[in-house]
C-alpha cells in the first residue's frame, strides 16, 4: 500500500443516554468503540455493516463533523483530532463528503450552479467569470450540462442530484472523499451510472474514497479493501478479493450468505444468523457477536477478541482457531 | 396449464390513472397477470414503474382523487373486486387478500399493543370472542417465530426491532388465512441478515398455508431467490413476463437485460478491481410525457425507427415467456 493519507487509531465515540427530569445519564451508546484503519492515496476503503454498527459515525468523526470521544485521526501525517475550527479550515479543502439522500443535502432555494460554486467562493478561490467557468467544468466532469447550472434542485432527477453533490465535493480538489451510502437512494440503473462516475473520477484525480454502504455488492464493486463493522468495532478487514473469497469472521460469513444472489439456480436463502443486532447501549460482553454466532464458545462471552493479522494483511477479530476466525 | 380453479388471482387489462395538475398519467396501463394457489409472482421495476400502484389497485386502496382505476378486472377467487361496493370490499380486504408494506413502523398503530392490532383484524372478519381472538394473535406471533409471543403481544410497536415489527405485520396479514398476500418491498427497510430471515419466513408460511403471493421489489436478487414467475414493469406497462429460470437465463427485453447487467455481484472475485458496470443511459421517463412508441426506446441501444412510432405488443416467445419488444429476437445476440 502507498503511504497512508488517512490514519485512524482507536477511534471512540460514545453518546450519553439521559432520562428523567434531571436528565441524569443512565447509559452510554457505544456508537464507535475502538476503530483503527489506514487509507492510502488513491485507494478505496469500503466500510460495511448493518444499521447501528457505527459506520456513519466513523465517517462523520473522520471529517470532524462529530467530535470523537477519544482516539486519533491523522490526515497526511498531521493529527487533526483536536484542531480548532480555524485551524481545521485549510484541511476541510482536502476532505469532502457525499451524503445518502440527494434530496435532503441540497438547498432547494439555491441554483445548482451556486451550490457547486459555493465552496469555491467560501474559500475565496475564484469569483465572477472565473468561478462560473470552474463550475461549468465541474458540471461537465460529472456528466451534467453547463446550461443546467441555472436550474434548481427540484428540476433534477435523483441521479442527477447525486451528480450535483459529487460536483460540489470535487470543487475544492479534495484528496479524500467520504461517501456515506451515496447510491442507496437511487434506482438500480441509475446506481450503476453513479458508481461508474465515482470510479472514473478516482482514476482521473487519484483521490481516496472512504466508501460506506450496507450493500455488499456495491462495496465489493468499488473498493480495494473492505472493513466489516459490527456494533461499533471492525471485526474483519482485508483486500476485497480476499475478503469475499475467504471470509473468516462468522459475521462476515453470515452477511455474505444473506445477500440474495441474482441467479435462480444458485443457492437458496439460508439465514446464518438468528435474531437482531443487540442495542449498542448495552452491547454484549466479550465478543459483541457472540449472542448470534453459530460458533460461540464460553470464552467468547468474556474475552473481547482483538483484531489480529491472519496473514497477508487479512485482519480478523475472532477467538476461533486461535484468532484466525475460520468457522467452516 | 393449470386448472382454472387453481387460480387465486386473475387480473385483466388493469388500468389505473392519476389526474394531476400537470396532466393525466397512466400509472398502470393495460396490465394482465394471474397467480395460482401457493405460487409466488414477483413484480420488478424501478421507482415510478407502477408496481406499487398495481398493489394498491388490487387492494382497491388507490387514493381517489387523484387516482382512479378506469378499466379492467381483478378477479380474486372468481369474484371481480372492482365490481364490489366499499362495504363488500372491506369484508374481503384483510380477509381474503392482505398486504404487507415496506415500512412496518408507519403501518402499525403506535399507540396500540401488537396483540390488540391482530385481534382487531381478526374480529373484523370473524365472529369470535375477544379471548379466542387473543389466542389466535399469540398463535400467529408464534407462527412468525417471535420469541415469547404472549409477552410480545402485550408490547407496543416501538418496543420491537425493525425485523420484529415486520414479523408482526406478517402475522397480522396472515391472521385470517388470506388466499392472496401482497408484499410491497417487504424487506427493503431491513438489514441484509434480517432480510434473509424475513424472506425465508414468508416463503415457509406461504408453503404451509398455500397462499398466493405477489412480491413487489426492485431487487433482482430477491426475485431470483423467491419467485416462480416474474413480471418486469417499465413506465406503467408489463414489458416482460417469464418463469424465473427463463427470465434470468435469457431475458428478452433490452430493459430487463440492462437491469441485470447493471447490478454489481457478490463476490466480484476474478473480476478486476473496480470494473465498470454496464449502465442504462438516461432516466425513467415522466409518465405525463410518455413517448408515443416504446417508452424504453430513448434509452435503448437497439432502438430503431419503428420503436419510436409504434408500441410493441406483448408477444409469446415460447413457454409463456412474454416480451414487448420489436427486436426481442435479436436481444440475446446483441448487447
Mutate to test the interface with B, among A263, A268, A272, A277 (most CBs of B within 10 A): A263
Residue B165 lies in a domain: no
Distances (CA, A) of B85 to B18, B26, B92: 21, 24, 11
Is residue B219 included in any domain, yes or no? Answer: yes
Which H or E run contains B69?
strand B67-76
pLDDT in tens, A201-254: 999 999 999 999 988 889 988 999 999 999 999 999 999 999 998 999 999 999
Rounded-to-integer distance, Cα A87 and Cα A93, Å: 12
Q: Cβ–Cβ of B263/A188 closer than 8 Å?
A: yes
Q: Across the interface, which of B203, B248, B262 has its CB nearest the CB of A189?
A: B262
Kind plus residue range of the DSSP H or E element containing B253: none
**Residue B178 pLDDT more than 70?**
yes
Within-domain flag for B326: yes
Q: Which residues pair with B15 in a beta bridge?
A: B71
Q: Taking residues B228-238, report their average pLDDT.
A: 94
Residues 168-227 of chain B whose Cβ lies under 8 A from any Cβ of chain A: 191-197, 199-200, 203, 218-226
Poorest-confidence range of A159-173, A272-286, B179-193, B316-330? A272-286
Residues 6+ apart with CB under 8 A from A45: A37, A39, A208, A209, A210, A211, A223, A224, A225, A226, A227
Q: CA of B274: which chain A residue's CA is closest?
A: A222
CB atoms B224 and A264 under 8 Å: yes
Given a cut of 90, whether residue A140 has pLDDT beyond it is: yes
pLDDT reading at B70 higher than 50: yes
Tell me the pLDDT of chain B averaged across its residues: 89
Question: CB–CB of A261 and B200 under 8 A?
Answer: no
- Flag the least confident range among A42-51, A124-133, A297-306, B263-272: B263-272
Question: Which candidate from A188, A268, A277 shows the least CB-CB separation from B225?
Answer: A268
For chain B, percent of residues with pLDDT exceeding 90: 63
- Residue A317 and residue A250 in contact, taking contact as beta carbons nearer than 8 Å: no
pLDDT at A311 (0 to 100): 83
Over 80: is that where the pLDDT of B270 sits? no
CA triplet B64, B70, B74: central angle to 5 degrees?
100
- b/e string for A115-141 if b means 16 or more Cβ within 10 A? bbbbbbeeeebbeeeebeebbbebbeb
**Cβ contact (<8 Å) for B221 and A262?**
yes
- Which among A144, A143, A145, A116 is positioned nearest to A132, based on CA atoms? A116
The reply to whether B74 falls in a domain is yes
Q: Using the beta-carbon criterion (under 8 Å), do B269 and A241 form an inter-chain contact?
A: yes
Cα(A320)–Cα(A327) distance, rounded to whole angstroms?
7
CA distance A239 to chain B (A): 10
Sketch the domain layout of chain A as residue ranges. Answer: 4-94+174-261+269-323
Per-residue model confidence (pLDDT) at position B83: 94
Q: What whole-number percentage of chain B has pLDDT above 70?
A: 95
Instruction: State pLDDT tens for residues A3-17.
Output: 689 999 999 999 988
pLDDT at B318 over 90: no
Please check the confidence at residue A313 and state whether its pLDDT lies above 90. Answer: no
Q: Which pLDDT score is estimated for A322?
A: 65
Q: Comparing A291 with B275, which gets the higher pLDDT?
A: A291
Residues 6+ apart with CB under 8 A from A7: A37, A38, A39, A72, A73, A74, A77
**Average pLDDT score over chain A:** 90
**pLDDT-above-90 percentage for chain A:** 65
Asked if residue B204 belongs to a domain, the reply is yes
φ/ψ of residue B309, rounded to 5: -95, -40
State the greatest distance between any 2 C-alpha atoms of chain B, in Å, as a whole number.
67
CB within 8 Å of chain A, chain B residues 234-253: 244-245, 248
More confident residue, A170 or B319: A170
More confident residue, A278 or A305: A305
For range B70-86, the mean pLDDT: 94
Whether the predicted pLDDT of B113 surpasses 90: yes
B35 pLDDT tier (thresholds 50, 70, 90): very high
pLDDT at B268: 47
* Size (chain A), residues: 328
Interface confidence, given as ipTM, is 0.80
Interface test with A, best of B262, B280, B286 (most A CBs within 10 A): B262
Residues from chain B that touch A50, judged by Cβ atoms under 8 A, are 191-194
**How much of chain A, in percent, has pLDDT values that exceed 70?**
96
**Is the model more confident about A269 or about A197?**
A197
Predicted pLDDT of residue A1: 45
Q: Which of A82, A76, A68 is closest to A34 using CA atoms?
A: A68
| Structural domain boundaries, residue B43 | 4-106+178-267+276-331
How far apart are the two ends of chain A, measured CA to CA in Å?
A: 30
The rounded distance, in Å, linking the Cα atoms of A113 and A148 is: 8
Cβ-defined contact of B267 to A220 (cutoff 8 Å): yes
For the cut 90, the answer to whether the pLDDT of residue B93 exceeds it is yes
> What is the pLDDT at residue A327?
53
Domain A4-94+174-261+269-323 has CATH 3.30.465.10: no
Q: List the CATH number of the domain containing B24.
A: 3.40.50.300
Question: What is the tally of structural domains in chain B?
Answer: 1
> Per the structure block, which three cell numbers stand in for A251?
459475521
Interface touch B194/A276, C-beta < 8 Å: yes
Contact B292, B235 (CB under 8 A): no
Amino acid at each position: 500500500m502507498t503511504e497512508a493519507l488517512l490514519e485512524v487509531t482507536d477511534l471512540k465515540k460514545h453518546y450519553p443516554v439521559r432520562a428523567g427530569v434531571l436528565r441524569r445519564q443512565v447509559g452510554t451508546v457505544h456508537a464507535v468503540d475502538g476503530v483503527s484503519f489506514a487509507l492510502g492515496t488513491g485507494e478505496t476503503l469500503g466500510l460495511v455493516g448493518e444499521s447501528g454498527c457505527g459506520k456513519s459515525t466513523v465517517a462523520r468523526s473522520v471529517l470532524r463533523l462529530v467530535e470523537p470521544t477519544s482516539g486519533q485521526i491523522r490526515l497526511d501525517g498531521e493529527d487533526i483530532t483536536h484542531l480548532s475550527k480555524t485551524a481545521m479550515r485549510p484541511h476541510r479543502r482536502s476532505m469532502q463528503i457525499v451524503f445518502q439522500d440527494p434530496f435532503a443535502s441540497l438547498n432547494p432555494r439555491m441554483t445548482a450552479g451556486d451550490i457547486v460554486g459555493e465552496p469555491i467562493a467560501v474559500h475565496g478561490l475564484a469569483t465572477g467569470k472565473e468561478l462560473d467557468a470552474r463550475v461549468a467544468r465541474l458540471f461537465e466532469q460529472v456528466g451534467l450540462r453547463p446550461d443546467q447550472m441555472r436550474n434548481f434542485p427540484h428540476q433534477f432527477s435523483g441521479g442527477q442530484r447525486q451528480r450535483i453533490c459529487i460536483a460540489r465535493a470535487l470543487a475544492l480538489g479534495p484528496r479524500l472523499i467520504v461517501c456515506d451510502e451515496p447510491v442507496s437512494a437511487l434506482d438500480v440503473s441509475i446506481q450503476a451510472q453513479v458508481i461508474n462516475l465515482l470510479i472514473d473520477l478516482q482514476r482521473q484525480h487519484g483521490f481516496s474514497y472512504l466508501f460506506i454502504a450496507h450493500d455488499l455488492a456495491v462495496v465489493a464493486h468499488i473498493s480495494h479493501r473492505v472493513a466489516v463493522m459490527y456494533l461499533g468495532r471492525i471485526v474483519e478487514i482485508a483486500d476485497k478479493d480476499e475478503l469475499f473469497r475467504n471470509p473468516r469472521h462468522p459475521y462476515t460469513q453470515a452477511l455474505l450468505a444473506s445477500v440474495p444472489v441474482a441467479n435462480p439456480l444458485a443457492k437458496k436463502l439460508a439465514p446464518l444468523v438468528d435474531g437482531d443486532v443487540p442495542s449498542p447501549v448495552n452491547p454484549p460482553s466479550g465478543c459483541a457477536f457472540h449472542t448470534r454466532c453459530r460458533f460461540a464458545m464460553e470464552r467468547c462471552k468474556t474475552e473481547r477478541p482483538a483484531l489480529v493479522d491472519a496473514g497477508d494483511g487479512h485482519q480478523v477479530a475472532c477467538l476461533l482457531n486461535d484468532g484466525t476466525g475460520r468457522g467452516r | 396449464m393449470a386448472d382454472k380453479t387453481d387460480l387465486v388471482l386473475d387480473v385483466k387489462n388493469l388500468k389505473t390513472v392519476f389526474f394531476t395538475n400537470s396532466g393525466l398519467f397512466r400509472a398502470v396501463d393495460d396490465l394482465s397477470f394471474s397467480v395460482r394457489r401457493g405460487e409466488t409472482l414477483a413484480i420488478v421495476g424501478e421507482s415510478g414503474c407502477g408496481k406499487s400502484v398495481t398493489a394498491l389497485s388490487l387492494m382497491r386502496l388507490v387514493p381517489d382523487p387523484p387516482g382512479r382505476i378506469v378499466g379492467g378486472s381483478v378477479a380474486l377467487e372468481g369474484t371481480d373486486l372492482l365490481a364490489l361496493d366499499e362495504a363488500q370490499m372491506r369484508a374481503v380486504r384483510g380477509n381474503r387478500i392482505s398486504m404487507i408494506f415496506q415500512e412496518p413502523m408507519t403501518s402499525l398503530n403506535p399507540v396500540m399493543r401488537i396483540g390488540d392490532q391482530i385481534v382487531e383484524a381478526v374480529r373484523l372478519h370473524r365472529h369470535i370472542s375477544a379471548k379466542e381472538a387473543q389466542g389466535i394473535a399469540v398463535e400467529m406471533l408464534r407462527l412468525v417465530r417471535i420469541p415469547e409471543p404472549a409477552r410480545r403481544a402485550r408490547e407496543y410497536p416501538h418496543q420491537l426491532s425493525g425485523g420484529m415489527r415486520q414479523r408482526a405485520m406478517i402475522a397480522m396479514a396472515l391472521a385470517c388465512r388470506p388466499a392472496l398476500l401482497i408484499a410491497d418491498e417487504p424487506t427493503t427497510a431491513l438489514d441484509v441478515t434480517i432480510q434473509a430471515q424475513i424472506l425465508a419466513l414468508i416463503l415457509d408460511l406461504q408453503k404451509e398455508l398455500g397462499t398466493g403471493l405477489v412480491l413487489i421489489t426492485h431487487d433482482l436478487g430477491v426475485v431470483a431467490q423467491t419467485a416462480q414467475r416474474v413480471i418486469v414493469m417499465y413506465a406503467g406497462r408489463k414489458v416482460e413476463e417469464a418463469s424465473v429460470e427463463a427470465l434470468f437465463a435469457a431475458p428478452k427485453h433490452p430493459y430487463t437485460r440492462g437491469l441485470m447487467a447493471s447490478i454489481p455481484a457478490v463476490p466480484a472475485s476474478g473480476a478486476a478491481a473496480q470494473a465498470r458496470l454496464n449502465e442504462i443511459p438516461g432516466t425513467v421517463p415522466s409518465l405525463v410525457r410518455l413517448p408515443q412508441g416504446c417508452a424504453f426506446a430513448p434509452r435503448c441501444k437497439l432502438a430503431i425507427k419503428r420503436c419510436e412510432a409504434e408500441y410493441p405488443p406483448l408477444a409469446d416467445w415460447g413457454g409463456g415467456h412474454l416480451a414487448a419488444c420489436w427486436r426481442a429476437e435479436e436481444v440475446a445476440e446483441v448487447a
